[in-house]
Amino acid sequence: MDKNEGVKLLRRYLENRCTPEERVLVEQWYDGLLSASDWHLEGARQAEAQQAMKQRIDHALGWNKPVPLLQQHWWRYAAAVLLLLGTASLFFIRLHKKNTIPAPVADIMPGSNKATLTLGNGNTIILDQAAADNIATQGNSRISKVAGGQLVYTPGNTVAGSSAEYNTLSTPRGGQYRLVLPDGSKVWLNALSSIKYPAAFTGAERSVVIQGEVFFDIAQNAQQPFRVQVNNRIQVDVLGTRFNISAYADEPLIKTTLLQGKVSVHSADAVILLPGQQAVLSSQPGKQAITLLKDVDTEEAVAWMNGYFQFSQARVQTVMGEIARWYDIDVSYDSNLPDRKFSGEISRSSNLSEVLKGLSVSGINYRREGRRIIIIP
């Protein structure tokens, strides 16, 4: 169907002379355009725009005595204008051939308790597929999976001088998991994160290596201090404390936030953190100076553990990075993206469509293509 045929069809539709099949064709086509559009006018401004558009349609169709606006459906006029401007011929051709309503895009569920355990011998266990039971033994430690997405190490008698096997717990995009280390310390892993640790702490210190975002609740043991290596960039020394480390490779900053106790954060220099403070440094390679922030919002830092996203004047890229990791989606950005900031809370149990609606209300515009979200100005 070319443009002239489309105009004739719209004339018949506006004059109630369409066949039932033609009426369905026009209404399905316009419904599809409306659902893909971004309408912002409200109240008096919308009525103004509708009246002005109506007059243009009447003139284009050659109607000297147009029907009053309230006696016609507004979207019929909008459909006519789009055709008269030559912007919708392709849609008519497509719908004329198929005469079907496009299938709705399937929603995407939030993440869940998913992780992979890699043992010292290289064997891997997919934890979300394993039964809740004793799943392995490493040295004298028994490894158990318990309900609620948690892995527990129960140490046995340790032989003096023996070397412990190192295990790695890692979460995928769309996954999270909890871990109880052999010393009783508790660990929470956010999506796309990992921790490497010994099956038993036998040396002068308790040392682990992490990537991504991890929260620690460390069992106190002054005789065996706890140490966290982060992305080969910083080192965090601990005696007994609760703290969060966010160190994603695609984020510009590494953040260590202290909730309780005391930690020392080392890079080019060293800072001591007290509760409510945060150490920040660039995620770029090389030793760099650490910035100490005081009186930070610790609830924001650990919101992910409590089941929600929380942002305060966050970059759009930071917001979408967290959402991408939790919903296992890809995010890209159109050029000339404005430098907007986002503040608010979103439940991590929401489906993706609900999250995107919330972002849209807050001024983050997007276009969705399957599992890809394109952020637009």
| pLDDT, block means (10 residues), the chain with 377 residues | 64 69 64 45 47 52 45 46 43 43 71 96 93 87 92 79 83 97 96 96 93 96 93 86 94 94 92 95 82 94 94 90 96 80 89 89 86 90
Q: Which helix (H) or strand (E) holds 317?
A: helix 316-327
CA pair distance 92, 264, nearest whole angstrom? 66
pLDDT at res. 70: 38
pLDDT at res. 40: 43
CA pair distance 358, 288, nearest whole angstrom? 37
pLDDT at res. 78: 47
CA pair distance 50, 81, nearest whole angstrom? 11
> Tokens 């100076």 appear where?
289
Name the amino acid, one letter, at 174: G
Q: How far is CA 216 from CA 78, 178, 337, in A?
A: 57, 10, 36
Q: How far is CA 255 from CA 13, 194, 207, 233, 293, in A?
A: 61, 16, 19, 12, 10
Give the number of other Cβ atoms within 10 Å of residue 81's Cβ.
17
Task: Give all strands (DSSP E) within 71-159, no chain letters.
Answer: 112-113, 116-118, 124-126, 134-138, 141-146, 150-154
pLDDT at res. 140: 84
Smallest CA-to-CA distance from 117 within 73, 153, 161 is with 153
Residue 349's SS3 state is coil
CA pair distance 212, 243, nearest whole angstrom? 14
Q: Find the helix packing angle between 89-98 and 20-35, rounded to 10°.
A: 130
Phi and psi torsions of 301, nearest 5°? -65, -35
CA pair distance 9, 86, nearest whole angstrom? 14
Name the amino acid, one letter, at 37: S
- Provide the phi-psi class of 321: left if phi over 0, else alpha when psi is between -120 and 50, else beta: alpha
pLDDT at res. 175: 97
pLDDT at res. 335: 76
Give the number of other Cβ atoms within 10 Å of residue 263's Cβ.
26
| Residue partners of 319: CB distance under 8 A and separation at least 6 | 309, 311, 342, 359, 364
pLDDT at res. 359: 84
| Residue partners of 178: CB distance under 8 A and separation at least 6 | 148, 149, 150, 151, 186, 187, 188, 189
Give the number of other Cβ atoms within 10 Å of residue 307's Cβ.
10
* Residue ranges of domains in the chain, CATH in brackets: 3-98 (no CATH), 112-301 (2.60.120.1440), 307-376 (3.55.50.30)
CA pair distance 372, 329, nearest whole angstrom? 6
pLDDT at res. 59: 53
Claim: this prediction has a pTM higher than 0.75:
no
Q: How far is CA 61 from CA 23, 79, 168, 260, in A?
A: 19, 13, 70, 73
